[in-house]
Amino acid sequence: MKKLMVVLAILFVAAWCFAGEPKKEGANYVEMGAHGSSVTHDGTRAAEYDEATTHSEGTLKFRWLKTDGDVKIKWEGEVESHSDMNFKLVINSGTWFKSTTTYNKFFHRLGHDKLANLEGRESVDPVENKPGGKFVFHDDYDPDVEYYTVYEKFSQVFDFNIDNDSPFKHVQVGFNALSRKGYHQINGLSHCDTCHVNSKAGRTNEITYDMWVKADAKIGNTNVSYKGTYSKFNNRADEATFYYDLPRHPTKGVAVEELGSRTLFGGQRMPVDYNNDNEMFENAVSIESVITPKDTIYAKLLYSNQKNDALDLQMDTKAGSFRYTRKFSKDFRFDAYFSYYTIDNDDYYVELPDWRAGRPGGGQPMSFLRQSAYNRDVSYFKLRGIYKFDANQRLTFSYRYEQIDRDNQIVNFEDKSTDTTKNLFKIRYDGRFDGAKAFFEVSYEDIDHPFEAYNGIYENSYHNYSGGTLWYYLRERVGEATSLPNQDFRIKGSFTVDLSDNSSLNIYGNYRNGENDELNTYKMDLQAKNAGFDYFVQLNDTTVVTVGYDYSNGSQTTLFAVPIMDG
């Protein structure tokens, strides 16, 4: 305590010495002080981004400015703790060169799941009315570890403004490095889906590099911009492993050969929780051209390639967009926008042993070609008209069409469709009046085959199979399940009024009604209401009071199948 009092006294005297006139934007200054906190319950929630939860630390803020001819230097920073600081250095040389250097560091507590809820046992078999046997238990090998991540980001950007007859007007070269270090919780499941849950501490040591070059040019009335980016992710953490139990009957401890024939490994340590290295190249070109005083076009092309260095898998993305804007008059503007992108991810052959190889009734092949659910073609089209009644009131009409054509992901049980099509209609009013403003919006969206688990519901729960036949290999999924509507109606609005020079009132409301009546098992209903107000008053230059009330009410009907051991 005496040491703490001495530190506080020194910081107070230093701050008093530097104190004077209030700091101004163009002046050097230094602030020093202290801060501390105390957490009585869950520090991961009360102080999720604070390293100092049980002690006091010093605080430092500063800004230093210098001008020497055409060269201007600005250096500023803030230090709250060993793991909470940021700095920024900006150097300008006339109007042609600018260097910006930044460094940020902060601390994030991740919490620790004690897994206490993972202790249970099946009580009764509802078919045979026999005592249950299946159970779940857990082991936490690092129960006292506090998990956290320290983020650090360094950025260096150089900007060059070119003032000559060349079409190139601006060039930017940049570099980022983002580091993540600390410890996180790793959970592993040992056979039968959830029978034995393991937990241990895993080290986090990851770094991501980004390097880019950007060039802007102007040719007549057309602006052209190009940006090339290279990104690299490296995982420097040590490999973590778990011991996976020998497969056997969960209560009797027998049938090792039988249960072992249904699993890929057991009775051995295996690597877990590893993010392998990968890299990405991206090229993007943007064009903006003023054709006439009333007509403008915008276009963008993008190509990126992402590579998994461990397996040499690659994913290519190609995208393009085009927008046309026309001002028919000073009161009416029209936009037409179209975009398209395609994603192609490499297939990967997953080689597995045959199902129950060498056992009676077994031998079914289980190897398969993994075809990525990322693969898709997406088309997007939008029309928008904006009409201004006067300088303070406008009405916006818009229509949006979107189609998602997936290559390998089925989203409808009955016709095995891979397409989702959306049509959205929207109208909005915005107005400003003397001391008030308001908006009101109504939208309706019709969706054909929204994303769903097309086989997300099982057949009847219990069957009397004979001969030891296994349920979970034979049971079928027969139903569609989703939490997304195929018809979605929404209304929202707000009204804000200035009650005086230093107070205002905002009233808002939202309503949503959605349903999906195309499922083969049930009807999904969704309703949500939200309303409230905010009152703001400024009592003086240093005191502001805000009072508000928010009411929300929502309901939704959704069904899903939850597999537990027997699938």
State residue 53's pLDDT score.
Answer: 65
What's the mean pLDDT in 235-251? 83
Q: For residue range 362-374, list pLDDT tens digits in order.
A: 888 889 999 999 9
State residue 465's pLDDT score.
Answer: 45
What's the mean pLDDT in 53-67? 84
* Cα gap 128→77, rounded to integer Å: 71
Quick check: 227 and 213 in contact, CB under 8 A? yes
Q: For residue range 79-138, list pLDDT tens digits in order.
A: 988 889 999 999 999 889 999 999 999 999 898 998 888 877 666 666 666 656 667 788
State residue 491's pLDDT score.
Answer: 98
- Entry pTM: 0.78
State residue 46's pLDDT score.
Answer: 73
> Who wins on pLDDT, 190 or 168?
168
Query: With 60 as the cut, is the pLDDT of residue 237 above it?
Result: yes
Quick check: 188 and 201 in contact, CB under 8 A? no
Q: For residue range 506-523, list pLDDT tens digits in order.
A: 999 999 999 998 888 888
Give the phi and the psi of residue 221 in degrees, each rounded to 5: -95, 15
Q: Which two tokens stand for residue 26?
A: 């163009």
Quick check: 496 and 531 in contact, CB under 8 A? no
Looking up tokens 């996976």 gives 244
Q: For residue range 279-316, list pLDDT tens digits in order.
A: 999 999 999 999 999 999 999 999 999 999 888 899 99
Query: With 50 as the cut, is the pLDDT of residue 14 above it?
Result: no
Q: Which pLDDT band, with edges at 50, 70 and 90, does 147 fall under?
A: very high
Q: For residue range 349-364, list pLDDT tens digits in order.
A: 999 988 888 888 788 8
Q: For residue range 274-283, list pLDDT tens digits in order.
A: 888 999 999 9
3-state secondary structure of 11: helix
Quick check: 449 and 482 in contact, CB under 8 A? no
Quick check: 104 and 84 in contact, CB under 8 A? no
Q: Which pLDDT band, with edges at 50, 70 and 90, does 7 fall under?
A: very low
What lies within 8 Å, CB to CB, of 214 at 6+ separation is 170, 171, 172, 173, 174, 225, 226, 227, 228
State residue 202's pLDDT score.
Answer: 93
Quick check: 430 and 390 in contact, CB under 8 A? no
Q: Which pLDDT band, with edges at 50, 70 and 90, does 192 fall under?
A: low
Largest CA distance in the chain: 92
Query: Domain limits of the chain?
Result: 1-109
The angle at the Cα of 183, spanning 179 to 186, to the nearest 5 degrees, equals 120
Q: For residue range 160-189, list pLDDT tens digits in order.
A: 998 877 888 899 999 999 999 999 999 988
Q: For residue range 208-221, list pLDDT tens digits in order.
A: 999 999 999 999 89
Please give the mean pLDDT across all residues of the chain: 86
Q: For residue range 466-500, list pLDDT tens digits in order.
A: 444 444 444 567 778 888 999 999 999 999 999 99
